[in-house]
Amino acid sequence: MRNSIIIVICCILLSACTKTKSNESTLKDALNGKFLIGTAINIPQTFGIDTLGVEIVKKQFNAIVPENCMKSMFLQPEEGNFYFDEADKYVAFGETNNLWITGHCLVWHSQAPAWFFIDENGNDVSREVLIERMRNHITTVVSRYKGRIKGWDVVNEAIMDDGSWRQSKFYQIIGEDFIPLAFQFAHEADPDAELYYNDYSTAIAAKCEGIVNVVKTIQEKSLRIDAVGMQGHLTMDFPAIEDFEKSLLAFSALGVKVMITELDLTVLPSPNNFAGADVSANFDFKKELNPYSDGLPEDIELKQQNRYADFFKLFLKYQDKISRVTLWGVTDNDSWRNDWPIPGRTDYALLFDRNSQPKPIVNEIIQLAKGKE
């Protein structure tokens, strides 16, 4: 009799524990029905080598984007030779784990192979040749994942901070038309895929206006565009949240969704007030520009938490306009911010720390999403 009472009590306790565990909130559960919450994944995560990282992705996120493996220099390093192993693995990872799968990115001046723009003598190719190469690249890549990749960053970073056109090879050789053409080719290859324009520093008014004009041109040609991606590479003082809000509203007013596509928040000092996300930027390492190599002081951690929270409050305020918020990496260890724009620093830009533990901001976002703050 005594034994059975003990067994019953144990069972009750056990079921209570299991219950608490399954009720534990996660980002994706708390944000369910508001917007997708995603992360960029790297090669060790894609191949399941970084098991702790994979665990976080599965538990906390419902969307992924490939940090590097779908950029043209990796997919088509030589003309006509496509290497899909990593990209295939990435898509399979998304399917196995039931995640919204984004492709990044089809047309970008950076991380593109040199051959793309030149002939055998090293001279720029003609407009016709570059259009054909762009068409072939987009068609081959998008068709391969037709129906599986749900949305594509079709064009990345075509507008400068002052609103002018970036003088990329795509722009110089093809002209403004390279954008509508890219959207047309992507749509022809997979009519059901969502198509996005993606850029950084979109909170700068002039740049925002330039992007608004790009979107309008696409729409005037009756081509599909579903969303504008506002890369969220933030610093502690750039951009002002009010400016971010203005741009978000300007994009949304075009009748497209807004996505925050590459969210991270550096706590490190910026050389010469540098901000943005130009991947070619590179400054020399100096000890004073790497102040937290032994750990992040509590006051800075708190400041960062508050700034992250302010942005998430904004995202929640406009949840009807936002389809996805994606972090640019899983843990602080993974973040490109450790090496950009200065190599070899120790940054703390993401939501999970170097021990793969959630920072306090994770629970704060969950509480905000539940309307409890």
Phi and psi of 213, rounded to 5°? -65, -35
- Name which position in 197, 336, 348, 352 contacts ligand XIL (CB under 6 A): 336
Burial 61-92 (b: 16+ CB within 10 A, else e): bbbbbbbbbbbbebbbeeeeeeebebbebbbe
Catalytic site includes residue 262: yes
Residue closer to ligand XIL, measured from CB, 34 or 89: 89
Query: CB 107 → ligand XIL: shortest distance, Å?
Result: 12
**Residue 34 amino acid letter:** K
Count of chain residues binding ligand XIL (CB under 6 A): 8
DSSP annotation string for 312-338: HHHHHHTTTTEEEEEES-SBTTT-GGG
- Residue 196 touching ligand XIL (CB under 6 A): no
The answer to whether 157 and 199 have CB atoms below 8 angstroms apart is yes
Does the protein bind ligand XIL through residue 277 (CB under 6 A)?
yes
Residue 14 CB, shortest distance to ligand XIL, in Å, is 44
289 lines the binding site for ligand XIL (CB under 6 A): no
HEC assignment per residue over 222-280: CCCCCEEEECCEECCCCCCHHHHHHHHHHHHCCCCEEEEEEEEECCCCCHHHCCCCCCC
Nearest distance, CB of residue 262 and ligand XIL, angstroms: 6
State the minimum distance, in angstroms, from the CB of residue 67 to ligand XIL.
Answer: 5
190 binds ligand XIL (CB under 6 A): no
- On the 0-12 / 13-18 / 19+ scale of CB atoms within 10 A, 24 is exposed
The correct pick among 46, 72, 156, 304 for binding ligand XIL (CB under 6 A) is 156
Q: DSSP character for 269?
A: P
Q: Closest CB to ligand XIL among 14 and 281?
A: 281
Q: By CB under 6 A, what part of segment 52-81 binds ligand XIL?
A: 67-68
Burial (CB < 10 A; 0-12, 13-18, 19+), residue 43, is: middle
Is 333 one of the binding residues for ligand XIL (CB under 6 A)?
Answer: no
67 is catalytic: no
- The amino acid that residue 112 corresponds to is A
Question: Which candidate in 67, 194, 262, 364 is catalytic?
Answer: 262
Binding mask 230-259 for ligand XIL (x = CB under 6 A): -x----------------------------
Residues that bind ligand XIL (CB under 6 A): 67-68, 156, 231, 262, 277, 279, 336
Which residues belong to the active site? 157, 262
